[in-house]
Structure 1
Amino acid sequence: MNEAAFLQIAGFPGVVGVIDGTHVRIQAPHKDEPEFVNRKHFHSLNVQVIFDAEYKLMDVVAKWPGSTHDARILHESGIKQMFDRRLVPGGCHLLGDSGYPCKTWLLTPFLRPQPGDQSRYNSVSMSCICRAHKRTRSVVERGIGQMKRRFHVLHGEIRLTPAKTCKVILACSALHNICKARNIQMPPDEAGDYPDDDEEEGDEETEAAGAPNPQGHGLRHRLQFTNIHFHGT
């Protein structure tokens, strides 16, 4: 069901979730203060989130200081263990930005696509040229934006200890899913889809550091879709 919903966005097959990290601003903690300063130079927690196609949270990791790279959080997460142990059906994968390593279960964009098939992987022809990978992955950016707009405590500086802030984030995540399940709309002046403040922060000129993954890169090349055509909605 989730795969079908993602497929309708831009014709990207096998997607079961979209992943990203988002920073929640906190006051400077008394302990290990430098660890919480992120690359934008403010104190935060880096929260890993995975959304489904209906903007519901599938997984949340809220415990890492702001200086921690997205790839490190993923490497230490339970979701990686699930895929590595093949507890998720074959052919299913997540989409992430170039801050993550390309794997068989986590597909990232080509950074410098060559003309032809690689460009079709990154983009889809519509009334204008849209990037199919980015368009599908934008679900996570919008999901984060919706959650932060609904729960303003996540949008500003949380003046609690990091441990208590983690609990606040998890509580807001659960409430977000309840609101989605019960179709509880945001207030009229806050309705609609909002981009995440951290949008595109993971898109760097080089992919995430780490050992190359030939299987992941091979799958990405096979998904240049000579037999599958992207479509718009």
Structure 2
Amino acid sequence: MDDSHTKENHEQEENELRDLISVTQATILYQATNICKQPCMTSTYTGYVWLKELISEDANPIRCYNMFRMHKIVFKNLTHDLVTRYGLRGSRNTDVREMVGMFLHVLGHGIGNRLAQEHFQRSRETISRHFSLVLDKVCDMGKDLIQPTNPQYRKDYIGAIDGTHIPVVVPAFDQIHFIGRKETTTQNLLAICNFNMEFVYVWAGWEGQAHDIRIFYEAIGRRDAHFPHPPPGKYYLVDAGYPNPTGYLGSYKEVRYHLPEFRGGPSPTGYREVFNRAHSSLRSTIERAFGVLKQKWGILTHMPSYPYEKQVQIVVAAMTLHNYIRRNNVTDTDFEQAELDLNYEYSVDHEDANEGVGASNPYASPDMAHLCDEIAISLQNH
């Protein structure tokens, strides 16, 4: 009986010791994470110091352009406009210029929150909050910048329409709707571009599986899509993947079309090839614009795992900044490259190009077919 009592006392002591060890470990962990927490963002070379150095008068202009994808004067003008016209405000501890710099750096390089924390020496919550705030303001700006700007058209052709795919990150249960032709998850968007490589319309957020023709008809048919229909007598240029109702001029099917086919082959023969070369040369403007957009804003090819609605906003914000730079900068390296390089428009991913609807287009209107012949014969005669 004494042995049994001794054994019970021993087991009780072991249990008490285990409980004491558990309590001690929990206490140490709590102190380490909540009481004696070691500061993380302690670098004296903060993001604000770095930013001020980059936009200073003495700094090499290439540094600002490489980090924020725009020249110093454009950065300063953008910050001023976001503050004075769209109500962007800094916080007690963060200057508004640093907020804009965070935003542009993330968009330009597609970096995640952790890298932004280290670069700007700010907490995760601060980076996320300021990014979202600037994103909302830039999208507000987009309502003013992504629209037709000059109602006094000099030519009958007023823009080009095309679509492109942007990578997205979506939950596994929803991925089937976003898997496109390249077997990756994307969002499909429809855009209109004028011949200055400015986007005048965008409808983003469509699932990668959505066909371009469906998006097109939804855009021109829905009042809430706010589509800028061409005025009477004017038209948009569209590629072989789109229908040709009144106001939308396509090319001749089953005839040479893409510019490299003409550069590497014989001169155009017949009025149809003459027309197709001219049509391709003009419509390549939107391919150039997409090329500049993706070249400048790396987040469009390396999208972090934001909520889907924010990923759609990011596309609109990138196109807004694209237009802002185009309208507010005399020279820009990415735009200059697109204008000078004859093959630039074909450096973009042609799997984004729309699939043709065949030699006989059942969606073509007779008046657009007649206009196509009329223009083609006129071009050949000149």
> Does 1:146 find its partner at 2:146?
no
* Corresponding position of 2:23: none
* Corresponding position of 1:215: 367
* Corresponding position of 2:167: 25
1:73–1:148: structure 2 CA closer, same or farther, 3 Å change rule? same
* Corresponding position of 2:239: 97
Do 1:101 and 1:207's aligned partners in 2 also have CA atoms closer than 8 Å?
no
* Structure 2 residue ranges without an equivalent (≥5): 1-149, 257-268, 339-343
Do 1:148 and 1:154's aligned partners in 2 also have CA atoms closer than 8 Å?
yes
| Code of the aligned partner of 1:101 | P
> Does 1:155 find its partner at 2:296?
no
* Corresponding position of 1:192: 337
Where 2:190 maps in the other structure, the secondary structure is strand
| CA positional deviation for 1:87 | 5.8
Name which one, 1 or 2, has greater alpha-carbon Rg: 2
Q: Distance in 2 between matches of 1:229 and 1:209?
A: 24
| Code of the aligned partner of 1:96 | V
Q: Deviations over 1:128-182 (max 9, x none)?
A: xxx1111101000000111111111112344223322111111111111111111
Do 1:99 and 1:207's aligned partners in 2 also have CA atoms closer than 8 Å?
no
Instruction: Give % identity.
Output: 27
> Does 1:116 find its partner at 2:274?
no
| TM-score for the superposition, normalised by structure 2 | 0.49
Do 1:107 and 1:220's aligned partners in 2 also have CA atoms closer than 8 Å?
yes
1:97–1:68: structure 2 CA closer, same or farther, 3 Å change rule? same
Picking from 177, 183, 198, the partner of 1:41 is 183
| Code of the aligned partner of 2:199 | L
1:139–1:79: structure 2 CA closer, same or farther, 3 Å change rule? farther
* Structure 1 residue ranges without an equivalent (≥5): 5-12, 123-130
* Corresponding position of 2:96: none
Which is helix-richer, 1 or 2? 2
Q: Give aligned pairs, total.
A: 211
1:127-138 to structure 2, matched below 5 A, reads 131-138=277-284
Where 1:156 maps in the other structure, the secondary structure is coil
Do 2:201 and 2:228's aligned partners in 1 also have CA atoms closer than 8 Å?
no
* Corresponding position of 1:179: 325
> Does 1:166 find its partner at 2:276?
no
Do 1:95 and 1:107's aligned partners in 2 also have CA atoms closer than 8 Å?
yes
Q: Distance in 1 between matches of 2:244 and 2:229?
A: 19
Where 1:46 maps in the other structure, the secondary structure is strand
Q: Comparing both chains, which one has the higher relative contact order based on Cα–Cα distances under 8 Å and sequence gaps of 6 or more?
A: 1
Q: Deviations over 1:31-85 (max 9, x none)?
A: 5321101112111001111111111110011020111111111111158869xx9
* Corresponding position of 2:201: 59
| CA positional deviation for 1:201 | 2.0
Q: Considering only aligned residues, what root-mean-square deviation do their CA atoms show, in Å?
A: 3.3
| Code of the aligned partner of 2:285 | V
| CA positional deviation for 1:100 | 0.3
Which is strand-richer, 1 or 2? 1
| Code of the aligned partner of 2:314 | V
